[in-house]
Amino acid sequence: MTGTGTGVGKTISTAAIAALAAGQGRRVAVLKPAQTGVGPDEPGDLADVLRLAGPVTTRELRRYPDPLSPEAAARLSGLPTLTPSEIAAAASDLNGEHDLTLIEGAGGLLVRFDADGATLADVAWSLGALVIIVAEAGLGTLNATALTAEVATKRGLTVAGVIIGSWPDEPDLAAVSNLADLPVAAGAPLLGVLPAGLGTAGPEEFAERAKAGLSPWFGGEFDPECFVGRASAQK
């Protein structure tokens, strides 16, 4: 799970996929290699996943207090960095005991974990994992999505699709237009659109709205053509 930047709804999207899979009786694990900008005793992204998706397995490998890239945060704090092999080993360990393992990156695909330039792209390549891009809805998202997808493809990764992580209550013209253009930019299908503010829902409502907002590929009911049609009719 990678985003086109920070604050695009990556954690909510990860939790939504986890919730649907867990609701189908699948054993689900969510791995967060590096959590930044959170103190030792503060709840991080995995706390949100547990609150929203229910009792799935979670694992965090490093935590850094400063809201920076994992590499920069590790350097500033003096804490050890992460290597792709360490992340891949943790993912493989979890995958051996679960039906689905989701790896949530920090920021975008090329955010660095260490001084050698290791990124989530390296982890995905070493595992042969599919990449799901979580993108913003509005202006500027097409370029960021296309860049992410192009880098992923050139590194030998397979982009499974794109999810809009936070769909506004009152979408503007750019957001509605991007519904058709995002799959072109990603070179992969639109696999879901999740409403803004979904993270404040209780577990039951969250599961219902996740099912409505995610593709049957995840066990949901999202139909991109119907969604695009409804959104276009409102403009």
* Catalytic annotation, residues: 32
Residue type, 24: Q
Instruction: Compute the distance between CA of residue 63 and CA of residue 8 in angstroms, rounded to an integer.
Output: 20
> Distance from CA of residue 21 to its chain's centroid?
15
* Buried b / exposed e along 127-153 (16+ C-beta atoms within 10 A): bebebbbbbbbbeebbebbbebbeebe
E runs forming strands in the chain: 2-3, 28-36, 57-64, 100-103, 130-135, 158-167, 190-195
Q: Mind spelling out the 3-state secondary structure of 98-136?
A: CCEEEECCCCECCCCCCCCCCCHHHHHHHHCCEEEEEEC
Which amino acid does the sequence have at 55?
P
Check if the beta carbon of residue 70 is closer than 8 Å to that of residue 64. Answer: yes
Residue 10: C-alpha distances to residues 13, 89, 165, 180, 225 (Å): 5, 22, 6, 21, 23
Tokens found for residue 68: 């920076």
CB-based contact 48:86 (threshold 8 Å): no
Distance CA(101)–CA(91), nearest Å, equals: 7
